[in-house]
Amino acid sequence: MRICVIVAACSVTAALISIPSIAQTVSDTAASQPAAATTKAALRSQNLQLSKAVRHALYSTKGLDATRISVFARGGKVSLVGTVVDEAQIQVAGDAAKRVPKVVAVDNRLIVAEDGGQ
């Protein structure tokens, strides 16, 4: 009988000792997940700021009609999509985007609009 009590006490003690380690593992995992979400949010914010900076540069460029140009940014890579009124504006838009700080590469997918940009 005495052996059964000792075995039961050891089992309970072992179970109680293992609970904090399980709880700690769960809390460590939960703590790391918000950091990943914060990183995604930070990247999304950086991409948005970069696309705004490129749009500002396009609208500030003299001789460029940027009203039909969409800007997409991801990790320093910028895509220009849309139409311009003549061939020369394609190069002007690409050059303006390349001058923006933090732009690593420009994918210029602009085309000349038919019928004078309409």
Q: pLDDT, tens digit, for every residue of 89-104? A: 999 999 999 999 999 9
CA torsion sign for 69, 75, 76, 77 is: negative
- pLDDT tier at 25 (50, 70, 90 boundaries)? low
Neighbours of 18 (CB within 10 A): 10
Please say if the pLDDT value at position 44 is more than 90: yes
Mean pLDDT of the chain: 82
How far are the Cα atoms of 39, 47, 49, 92, 108 from residue 65, in angstroms, in the given order? 35, 23, 21, 10, 15
Of residues 1 and 81, more confidently modeled: 81
Q: pTM (2 decimals)?
A: 0.66
Residue 108, pLDDT > 60, answer yes
> Whole-angstrom Cα distance, residue 102 to residue 78?
10
Tokens of 115: 């019928």
